[in-house]
A and B are shown apart, each in its own frame.
Chain A
Amino acid sequence: MVVNGEIRTMIKKNTHKVNSRDDRKQPIIESLEIQSQGRKLLEVRQFVEKLAAECGYSQSDIFDIKVSVGEACANAIEHGSPRGKRNRIKIVFEFIDDCAIIKISDEGVFKPRFPALDTQLNYRGRGIPFMLALMDDVEIKEGECGTTVRLVKIRN
Chain B
Amino acid sequence: MDLKIDVEEKEEAVILKLDGEVDVYTAPKLKSRLIDLVDQSKFKIIVNLENIDFMDSSGLGVLVGGLKRVRSHDGAIALVCTQENILKIFRITGLVKVFPIFETESQALQGV
Which residue numbers of A lie inside 8 Å of B, CB to CB?
38-39, 41-42, 45, 59-60, 63, 66-67, 70-71, 74, 77-78, 116-119, 121-127, 129-130, 133-134
Contact = CB atoms under 8 A, between A and B. Distances in A.
Contact of B24 (A59, A74, A121, A129): A74
Interface centre among B56, B65, B85, by most chain A C-beta atoms within 10 angstroms, is B56
Contacts of A122: 61, 64
Interface string B45-62: 000000000101110111
Interface of B: 1, 21, 23-25, 54, 56-58, 60-62, 64-65, 67-68, 84-85, 88-89, 92-94, 97-98
A121 B93 CA distance: 10
State the majority secondary structure of interface residues on B.
helix
Given A129-B92, A134-B92, A41 B23 contact: yes
Contacts of B65: 123
State the majority secondary structure of interface residues on A.
helix
A60 B58 contact: no
A119 B89 contact: no
A71 B57 contact: yes
A70 B23 contact: yes
Contact of A42 (B25, B60, B92, B98): B25
A39 B61 contact: no
User: Which A-B residue pairs are the 8 nearest by beta carbons?
Assistant: A118-B94, A38-B25, A126-B57, A123-B61, A63-B85, A38-B24, A133-B92, A74-B24
Nearest to A59: B85
